[in-house]
Amino acid sequence: MVADAFKQKGEEFANGSMPVVAVENGGGIREKMPNGTITRGDLMAAFPFSNTLYMKVVTPNILYAMMEQSIVEMDGQDPETGMLLQQSNSGGFLQVSGFNVVLDPDSDTVQSITLDNETTPLDRNDTSREILLVGNNYIMSGGSDYSMLSSLPKYGEAGGELETIEAYIQSVDLTQYARPQGRIQYTGGSYQPKDYEATIQVLSTEGSPFANQSVDLVVDGTQEMSVKTDENGYAKVTVSDGAHNIRLQEDNTEIYIDNYLGFGIIEDSIRGSYPVLNTMQTPADQEEPTQPEEDKPQEEQKPEEKPEQEDSQTNDGTETSTETNMALWIGILAVSVVVLIIIGVLIKKKK
């Protein structure tokens, strides 16, 4: 967006006399721009240097040399993730407008530069075609080792950097920047472009991990997806090759992931920590885990209480009722009496 603002300003001066391109060094942008209302305070925080825009006429040969200086700190490319390997964090890496560039990070060379509305790449040996370049006074005066620009005469000054960006924001539809523009491409090496998995972190309003929760995301302003955070609030997001903007559905604040630049791929001194989103949501109640059947505590088995039996058992196991027992004893008693009477009669006869 910033380089586009510079290019628009340069076109007012060129008035169709030559192609216009623009650049902005990454070190000149000190804060992220909010997604939504942008205040002058936001602009001052992002562009605190009060730079002036210089315009200079360059050739294709100089453009190639300038863009090769932009990648001088690169040290190859990871064959698995596509991440550009850097010797240090260079503030001289250029954001561009008005042309597309194809870079080979393995050889630190520019494969091609193609101007907007053209299909044939510029000839790197062309030292005659005139192109108007717009950039801040730091880069155009040779800062960050852009010595190929320092000796060129000024075509003119296009005003203040901050004022130019502010006017541009007020005049265009910024939704076009919901998706990275893809003006810088990479080739060479063994990496083959493919979908990749980036890591982001979601924090609560208190700054603690938004752990073990489902969150709804918007990718590049249009694509919706849901992810689940882990116990530390981290979540994996699978996206297509290249740069993407991500935000929560509930909020306009965006983060940036890019497998080439390593944002969301690795945490180190150059990229810092994984990108962070802050949610206003409160954690959903955790569901009670379902206890496996075999893990459920067994109820204590109480011995079955047998009802009192009115029946008793004889020694041989035969069940008899109380009435049956009484009848039996009466019968035995009667027999005994009869036996005694008979014995008495027999004794009398003997006498």
What lies within 8 Å, CB to CB, of 90 at 6+ separation is 26, 27, 72, 73, 144
Specify the CATH number for the domain of residue 44. Answer: 3.90.780.10
Q: Are residues 60 and 175 in the same domain?
A: yes
Q: Are residues 55 and 118 in the same domain?
A: yes
Q: Are residues 136 and 71 in the same domain?
A: yes
- Asked if residue 349 is part of any domain, the answer here is no
From 252, 278, 304, give the residue that closes a domain: 278
Q: Are residues 38 and 78 in the same domain?
A: yes
- Asked if residue 333 is part of any domain, the answer here is no
Q: Are residues 181 and 200 in the same domain?
A: no
Burial group, residue 1, by CB count within 10 angstroms (0-12, 13-18, 19+): middle
- Asked if residue 286 is part of any domain, the answer here is no
Q: Are residues 99 and 16 in the same domain?
A: yes
DSSP 3-state of 225: strand
pLDDT at 91: 77
- Structural domain of 240: 196-278
Tell me the DSSP string of 137-184: HHHHTTGGG-HHHHTSPEEEEEEEHHHHHHHHHHHS-GGGGSS----E
Q: Are residues 164 and 226 in the same domain?
A: no
From 247, 278, 309, give the residue that closes a domain: 278
Characterize the bridge pairing of strands 184-186 and 99-104. Answer: parallel
Q: How many domains does the chain have?
A: 2
Q: Are residues 133 and 159 in the same domain?
A: yes
From 259, 278, 297, give the residue that closes a domain: 278
pLDDT by residue (tens digit) across 8-53?
A: 999 999 999 999 999 999 888 888 777 778 888 999 998 888 899 9
CA pair distance 81, 191, nearest whole angstrom: 7
Q: Are residues 14 and 98 in the same domain?
A: yes
Residue with tokens 């062309």: 126
Q: Are residues 88 and 203 in the same domain?
A: no
pLDDT by residue (tens digit) across 252-292?
A: 888 999 999 899 999 998 889 999 999 998 887 544 444 55
Q: Are residues 144 and 208 in the same domain?
A: no
pTM given for the model:
0.73
Which value, to the nearest 10 degrees, does the dihedral of the CA atoms of residues 219, 223, 227, 229 take? Answer: 20
Going residue by residue through the chain, which has 351 residues, state the pLDDT in tens, using 9 for 90 and above. 999 999 999 999 999 999 999 999 988 888 877 777 888 899 999 888 889 999 999 999 999 999 999 998 888 899 999 999 886 776 788 999 999 999 998 888 999 999 999 999 999 999 999 999 999 999 999 999 999 999 999 999 999 999 999 999 999 998 888 778 889 998 877 899 999 999 999 999 899 999 999 999 999 989 999 999 999 999 999 999 999 999 999 888 889 999 998 999 999 988 899 999 999 988 875 444 445 555 555 555 555 554 444 444 444 444 444 555 555 555 555 555 555 555 554 555 554
Characterize the bridge pairing of strands 276-278 and 196-203. Answer: parallel
- Asked if residue 112 is part of any domain, the answer here is yes
Q: Are residues 158 and 219 in the same domain?
A: no
- Asked if residue 11 is part of any domain, the answer here is yes
Specify the CATH number for the domain of residue 260. Answer: 2.60.40
- Asked if residue 340 is part of any domain, the answer here is no
**Which one, of 182, 244, 193, 196, lies nearest residue 219 by Cα?**
244
